[in-house]
């Protein structure tokens, strides 16, 4: 595999970050969905919330490395090309996904900050981004929930597009992002 993106494949770093972040984002969603199974104030509910925050902040940190890898070497082309509308919608989708990976954690961080709650990060406590303001906390929480719902759609559509390219169009869109193939 390659250190940088080539004409036909993503770099080893881009591939590793892509799949690692998928696992992280799935865990972020799983934690917040599963928390509803436990009563308010229970140990497990609080633990799931803490993991939601910490894994979400990990996405926020790693996305900058991903963006750097993308700017250092541009994305490989799909062999045989693709219709202009597909290329444009793929580009829009990719930027929407980057916006989600930055915007959702940031809105979560702002929610906890404005609520005056601690922001845990694997034994550390991150600084509050704004002062305590319950009305602002509600606004950020709504924004965060909106971003979380939009994320389900964006990730679902992105995955469906990958499957469509692989099994229907039968091009190398998905293979360029798979590890361990030359
Ligand atoms: C990729 C990153 C993230 C995604 C996709 C995400 C998504 C979500 C979703 C879907 C919900 C449930 C919304 C609902 O009930 O309708 C939620 C709740 C929440 N998230 Fe996140 N989140 C992310 C990162 C973070 C981070 C980094 C923090 C804070 C540091 C955070 C703080 C919160 C808070 C405070 C809630 C409300 C929890 C409650 O009901 O008490 N999130 N998030």
Contacts made by residues 171-175, CB under 8 angstroms, sequence distance 24+ = 171/78, 171/79, 171/80, 171/82, 172/8, 172/78, 172/79, 173/78, 173/82
Full domain range(s) for residue 50:
12-177
Please tell me the pTM assigned to this model: 0.92
CATH code of the domain in which 60 resides: 1.20.950.20
Please, which pLDDT band fits residue 73 given cuts at 50, 70 and 90? confident
Q: Determine whether 15 is exposed, middle or buried from the number of CB atoms within 10 Å of its CB (0-12, 13-18, 19+).
A: buried
The string of pLDDT tens digits covering residues 103-121 is: 999 999 999 999 999 999 9
Residue 171 lies in a domain: yes
Residue 5 lies in a domain: no
Residue 7 lies in a domain: no
Please, which pLDDT band fits residue 82 given cuts at 50, 70 and 90? confident
Unique residue bearing structure tokens 């996405």: 59
pLDDT in the model for residue 98: 98
Residue 3 lies in a domain: no
| Nearest-atom index, ligand 1, CA of 25 | 1
Residue 6 lies in a domain: no
| Number of other CB atoms surrounding residue 63 within 10 Å | 19
Partner residues linked to 125 by β-bridges = 120
Unique residue bearing structure tokens 């964006």: 154
pLDDT in the model for residue 172: 86
Residue 61 lies in a domain: yes
Atom 15 of ligand 1: nearest residue by CA position? 145
Residue 150 lies in a domain: yes
Residue 182 lies in a domain: no
- Provide the number of structural domains found in the chain: 1
Average pLDDT over residues 38-62: 98
Residue pair 21/63 in contact by the 8 Å Cβ criterion: yes
User: Residues of the chain with pLDDT > 70: what percent?
Assistant: 95
Residue among 42, 47, 104 to mutate when testing ligand 1 (max atoms within 8 A of CB): 104
Region of poorest pLDDT, from 8-12, 47-51, 173-177? 8-12
pLDDT in the model for residue 173: 86
Q: Which two tokens stand for residue 14?
A: 């881009």
Whether pLDDT at 1 is above 70: no
């Amino acid at each position: 595999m390659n250190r940088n993106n080539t004409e036909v494949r993503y770099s080893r770093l881009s591939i590793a970050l892509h799949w690692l972040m998928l696992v992280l984002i799935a865990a972020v969603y799983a934690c917040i969905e599963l928390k509803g199974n436990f009563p308010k104030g229970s140990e497990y509910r609080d633990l799931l919330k803490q993991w939601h925050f910490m894994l979400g902040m990990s996405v926020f940190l790693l996305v900058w490395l991903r963006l750097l890898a993308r700017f250092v070497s541009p994305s490989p082309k799909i062999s045989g090309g693709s219709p202009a509308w597909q290329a444009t919608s793929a580009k829009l989708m990719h930027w929407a996904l980057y916006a989600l990976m930055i915007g959702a954690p940031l809105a979560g961080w702002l929610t906890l900050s404005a609520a005056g709650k601690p922001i845990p990060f694997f034994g550390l406590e991150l600084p509050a981004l704004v002062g305590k303001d319950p009305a602002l906390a509600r606004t950020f929480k709504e924004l965060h929930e909106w971003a979380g719902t939009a994320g389900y759609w964006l990730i679902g559509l992105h995955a469906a597009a990958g499957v469509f390219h692989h099994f229907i169009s039968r091009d190398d869109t998905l293979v360029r992002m798979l590890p361990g193939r030359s």
